[in-house]
Amino acid sequence: MAQLLNSSFTPTTSSLRRLHHSPTQTTPKSTRIQAKIREIFMPALSSTMTEGKIVSWIKSEGDKLSKGESVVVVESDKADMDVETFYDGYLAAIMVEEGGVAAVGSAIALLAETPDEIAQAVSKAKDQSSPAAPSQSSSAAPSSPPVEPKIPDLVPVASVTKTAPVQVSSTHPASDGGKRVVASPYAKKLAKELNVDLSGVVGSGPMGRIVAKDVEAAAVAIAVAVAEPSKPGSAPPVVELGSVVPFTTMQGAVSRNMVESLGVPTFRVGYSITTDALDALYKKIKPKGVTMTALLAKATALALAKHPVINSSCRDGKSFTYNSNINVAVAVAIDGGLITPVLQNADKVDIYSLSRKWKELVDKARAKQLQPQEYNTGTFTLSNLGMFGVDRFDAILPPGTVSSNTQSCKMNIFLYQFVTMFVQGAIMAVGASEPTVVATKDGRIGMKTQMQVNVTADHRVIYGADLAQFLQTLAQIIEDPKDLTF
């Protein structure tokens, strides 16, 4: 008996009702809901009608309906018509709002038999409409064609709109400190269509009002953010296996530039550097806000100062370009993307200022507020994967070309990664600093903390010996780090 009740094939209300009175009632709730909550379908008002637009709801949610009463006005390809209900009951939930379009045969509302069931119907409506939320057409009918999304990447947007990275409150002078959103009529319309929350959009129109292009830019930013893989450390993104997912704009740009990088003749030189002294120094000055990244950048900059050729680059294939400043770019993984905030004049700025600067840059990077000169003026790049336990790896020297098709995407700084970076001669991959058993020159075996660095360089300007000498200098500085704190 119970088994029979659990079956989803119990079809009629009457039999269920009778069973409810039995003391050993085990009817699952869901079965009951389906029996008493009816769907109101988009009717076919003409032989050629495939979908209908809801002109207006004559009844609103919670209204009592009696059989034959007009509930909704539907616009077909021919005319507007009132649609009547075939049952008595209560209009529990409207699933397609006024102005929405639904395929013929798909559910547009739910009808509950009694007022008690309205709440259940509402939750049912939510279940049903959520997968199709952006398209407004109900998912109930298998034939319902999805309304084409405005932006190809935007399909999953509805679920992520609230987490959209579009930040900073509107700065309109009349916005009462951000309480009021001032947006032009078309901007408001677009925002509704593209599912963009205006309160998070920065206006670029007169007096800081939000205009259409701001909304469009925000929608693109959301689309890109959606396409981004999730943050490192968080759960890996759910990818549908067996599917082909096209590149986002950013991924496309990276792909192009990586292929282009093959046009640069690079070679790699590695070196193991003992970091015991550096670690000791770090421990000592850490309370003063000094970070390891700043220390490494500082050491690299000091070494670069002694070997200007490593800080040079080849822009035209015919000449050396010796950069006047030593700007150390440090790659940072952020939101699954990659950005290279630049510590400018790292050789000249003292370690404490450099650390403060670094903190500021990282904060800005995470808030996606880095200015172009803060991430694209590096003359040498540091890439550190040591925190993941990686002991050695090598980096690809980015070609440093500007790709024009990504420039329109002002909102997303990720797109500039590998794209508008300064042309550089070399990039250094830094591995983890690990305790290592080493044989010392005095013939003894000891334990030292070592890290491996691996420099990728453009052989057109940088030769093996240059790189070797640079690494030797760097090792000396790190192994005897007193110069770092001068």
Q: Among 124, 209, 307, 357, which residue interacts with other proteins (rule: CB under 8 A)?
A: 209
- H or E stretch at 15: helix 13-20
Distance of CA 398 to the CA centre of its chain: 23
Per CB under 8 A, does 142 bind other proteins?
no
Active site residue 20: no
Per CB under 8 A, does 361 bind other proteins?
no
Residue 109 β-bridge partners: 40, 94
3-state secondary structure of 72: strand
Applying CB under 8 A, the span of 21-29, 57-65, 180-188, 378-386 interacting with other proteins comes to 180-188
Per CB under 8 A, does 87 bind other proteins?
no
Task: For residues 333 and 387, give the distance between their C-alpha atoms in angstroms, rounded to a whole number.
Answer: 12
Per CB under 8 A, does 78 bind other proteins?
yes
The residue (of 209 and 368) whose beta carbon lies closer to other proteins is 209
Q: Which of 20, 21, 307, 459 is catalytic?
A: 459
Task: For residues 429 and 281, give the distance between their C-alpha atoms in angstroms, rounded to a whole number.
Answer: 22
The answer to whether 414 and 221 have CB atoms below 8 angstroms apart is: no
Applying CB under 8 A, the span of 125-133, 138-146, 202-210, 217-225 interacting with other proteins comes to 202-210
Q: Please, what is the minimum distance in Å from the beta carbon of residue 174 to other proteins? A: 5
Applying CB under 8 A, the span of 205-213, 235-243, 395-403, 429-437 interacting with other proteins comes to 205-213
Residue 436 β-bridge partners: 448
The residue (of 184 and 377) whose beta carbon lies closer to other proteins is 184
Q: Please, what is the minimum distance in Å from the beta carbon of residue 382 to other proteins? A: 47
Per CB under 8 A, does 86 bind other proteins?
no
Q: Please, what is the minimum distance in Å from the beta carbon of residue 204 to other proteins? A: 12
Residue 194 β-bridge partners: none
Applying CB under 8 A, the span of 30-38, 203-211, 350-358, 442-450 interacting with other proteins comes to 203-211
Strand 107-112: give its sheet, edge to edge.
Answer: 37-41, 107-112, 89-94, 64-65
Per CB under 8 A, does 188 bind other proteins?
yes
Q: Among 17, 18, 126, 189, which residue interacts with other proteins (rule: CB under 8 A)?
A: 189
Per CB under 8 A, does 179 bind other proteins?
no
Q: Which of 394, 168, 356 is nearest to 271 (CA)?
A: 394
Per CB under 8 A, does 74 bind other proteins?
no
Q: Please, what is the minimum distance in Å from the beta carbon of residue 186 to other proteins? A: 4
Per CB under 8 A, does 186 bind other proteins?
yes
Per CB under 8 A, does 207 bind other proteins?
yes
Let me know the angle formed at the C-alpha of 181 by 180 and 182, rounded to the nearest 5 degrees: 115
Q: Please, what is the minimum distance in Å from the beta carbon of residue 255 to other proteins? A: 32
Q: Which of 139, 97, 124 is nearest to 38 (CA)?
A: 124
The residue (of 81 and 160) whose beta carbon lies closer to other proteins is 81
**DSSP 8-state class, residue 210:** B
3-state secondary structure of 394: coil
- H or E stretch at 298: helix 292-306
Q: Among 142, 185, 242, 263, which residue interacts with other proteins (rule: CB under 8 A)?
A: 185
Cite the DSSP H helix spans in 156-291.
157-160, 185-194, 212-227, 249-260, 276-285
Question: What one-letter code names the amino acid at 270?
Answer: G
Residue-by-residue DSSP string for 301-350: HHHHHH-TTTTEE-SSSS--EE-SS--EEE-EEETTEEE--EETTTTTS-
Per CB under 8 A, does 82 bind other proteins?
no
Applying CB under 8 A, the span of 21-29, 87-95, 177-185, 350-358 interacting with other proteins comes to 177-185
Per CB under 8 A, does 191 bind other proteins?
no
Task: For residues 33 and 92, give the distance between their C-alpha atoms in angstroms, rounded to a whole number.
Answer: 12
Per CB under 8 A, does 148 bind other proteins?
no
Q: Among 152, 206, 242, 287, which residue interacts with other proteins (rule: CB under 8 A)?
A: 206
Per CB under 8 A, does 174 bind other proteins?
yes
Residue-by-residue DSSP string for 159-193: HHGGG----S----TTSTTTTS--B-HHHHHHHHH
Residue 53 β-bridge partners: 75, 101
Q: Please, what is the minimum distance in Å from the beta carbon of residue 184 to other proteins? A: 5
The residue (of 52 and 337) whose beta carbon lies closer to other proteins is 52
The residue (of 99 and 115) whose beta carbon lies closer to other proteins is 99
The footprint of other proteins on residues 93-112 (CB under 8 A) is 99
The residues annotated with a catalytic role in the active site are 459
Instruction: List contacts with other proteins (CB under 8 A).
Output: 77-79, 99, 172, 174, 182, 184-186, 188-189, 205-207, 209, 211-212
